[in-house]
Amino acid sequence: MIGALVLASVLHQAPKAFVENPPAPAEEGIQFQAALEVGGQALPSGTGANAMDVFGVAFPRLGVKGGEEFEFELGAPLRVRLLDQEPLQLEQDYGGRLRRQDWDERSDFAQLLRHLRIGRDDGRVQLRAGSFSTYSLGAGWLVNRYHNRISPDYHPAGANVVAYLGPTRVELFASDVLALRLFAAEVRLDLGRVLSDQDTAFDRFLLSVDVAHDFGKAGGETPALSAASVGFQAGVVKKDTLQLWLQAAAGARADTLVESVPDYGAALGLVVRGQPKEMVDLTGRLEARRQGGRFRFGFFGAGYELARFSGVGLSEQPLAEELLPGTFSGYGEFAASVSPFGPEDLELTASASGEYFVSTGRVDADAMLQAHLPGGKTVAELRVILTDLTVHPRYSAALAVRHRFLPSVYGLVTAGREHFPQAEGHLRHGFTAGLGLGVDFQR
């Protein structure tokens, strides 16, 4: 889809600690896909008076899928400035027209990789690369619902590798494969497989260690940040239609040692997953947290690529230096998916999270919705990220609607609110909208 408001078609996944996925049926043969979208987009300049500029957009894509083991897609939106409200900006663009901010650092060239998948979801090794919209590392105590392309002038490709080695699961994540940015890892040990040879004990008692470090050297330079956590999860109920997990975690900053500031926290909660009807999947999570200082759970969250410049609002301290009073908080998360029986049925994927801090009254929230309307011709995608709604509010939103008029022809409408990091460290906001037409085919 067109421009920075493109929303990846991402299914929010409950942490694999809570899910046992049955093997998917194998697909044979190789499929080729190609698409071209053209249209227009209004986008703030992001500098100076933040005037609205108009761009013509061409977005070619080419993809290959080889069954359940391999898939990739290449392509990138090319934005050509048609109307410039700040004449100096026109002189800075490549060739006088191609928007410079889309290609002005090494990481931007990774946007050519839209998606890469090697290995099956139920295999022993899996690799994913490209954009990440709601990525969580393990249970999400450090990296939770992270979005690596929320900044309109920064277009990295991230990568995620998962490997199963006996009773151990190792997961590695990089938000940007071409620069020194966010790197995270989790090692999770299945205690049931270590201490027992009974199948009933497998995948029920999980011990995990997470670490994450952001060098802050791409997409704008920001203070480095490190954090670590240790967590335990116990499967109390594991049935075909219902699962109940209890979990506890402790975490701390790994790069600040200030005696007067308690840069650590602890959490206790539960996760419930149910499948009340065929094709319906529901997951809920509730957690009580004690945290403060320069540490909080879900540090690298949905709006982190903005918070690393200004933790809240537009011109406050960066998240790495933001002090949170010692406080209790309540965190909740909900995810639902409805799979259709046929093309005339609704297909829905939705998830939302929220946290309330008791001592300050601060509220953070994040929601994602993707709906394939009955008939299969219309797809709508919405992402809203809300930060500190009570004192220094900041919200980001992106909406995209695609309607197929003919088997190979569809129209696009996009709209949203963007934030542009500035050289001096604060954020500038503006609204954007786009309209386009696309053609695609596969064989």
Which residue has better confidence, 344 or 10?
Answer: 344
Q: What is the DSSP letter of 181?
A: -
What per-residue confidence (pLDDT) applies to 77?
A: 96
Residue 259 has a pLDDT of: 52
What pLDDT is attached to residue 298?
95
The residue ranges of every structural domain in the chain are 30-442
Residue 175 token pair: 């938000």
Q: Is the pLDDT of residue 333 over 80?
A: yes
Write out the two tokens for 442. Answer: 């596969």
Going by pLDDT thresholds of 50, 70 and 90, the confidence category of residue 5 is: very low
* Pairwise CA distance, residues 179 & 310, whole Å: 21
pLDDT of residue 121: 82
- Quickly state the pLDDT bin for 262 (edges 50, 70, 90): low
d(CA 78, CA 436) in angstroms, rounded, equals 13
The per-residue pLDDT for range 67-115, each reduced to its tens digit, is 888 999 999 999 999 988 766 555 677 877 899 999 999 999 999 999 9
Instruction: Name the residue among 237, 234, 229, 303 with its Cα closest to residue 267.
Output: 229
What DSSP character marks residue 25?
Answer: P
Is the per-residue pLDDT at 9 higher than 70? no
Number of H helices and number of E strands within the chain? 3, 21
Q: Which amino acid makes up residue 156? A: P
pTM beyond 0.85: the answer is yes
- Check residue 263 and give its pLDDT: 85
The whole-number pLDDT of residue 346 equals: 87
Q: Which residues pair with 253 in a beta bridge?
A: 227
Kindly report which listed range (302-306, 390-394, 423-427) carries the lowest average pLDDT score: 423-427
Token duo for residue 225: 């940040």
Q: What is the mean pLDDT of the chain?
A: 88
DSSP per residue, 309-329: T-SSTTTS--GGG--EEEEEE
Kindly state the average pLDDT of the residues 314-337. 93
Please tell me the predicted confidence (pLDDT) of residue 86: 67
Considering the chain, what percentage of its residues have pLDDT values greater than 70? 90
Q: What is the pLDDT of residue 443?
A: 81
How far is the C-alpha of 170 from the C-alpha of 14, rounded, in Å? 17
Question: What confidence category does residue 15 fall into, taking pLDDT thresholds of 50, 70 and 90?
Answer: very low
| Two structure tokens written together for 269 | 């909660």
Cβ(109)–Cβ(178) below 8 Å: yes
pLDDT of residue 23: 42
- Pair of tokens at residue 342: 């046929």
For residue 363, pLDDT over 70 is answered with yes
Nearest to 435 by CA among 407, 410, 408: 410
Nearest to 115 by CA among 163, 173, 76, 162: 76
> In the predicted model, what is the mean pLDDT of residues 280-298?
94
Which residues are CB-neighbours of 103 under 8 A, at least 6 positions away?
94, 109
Radius of gyration of the chain (CA): 22
Q: Which residue has the higher pLDDT, 407 or 46?
A: 407
Confidence of residue 117 (pLDDT cuts 50, 70, 90): very high
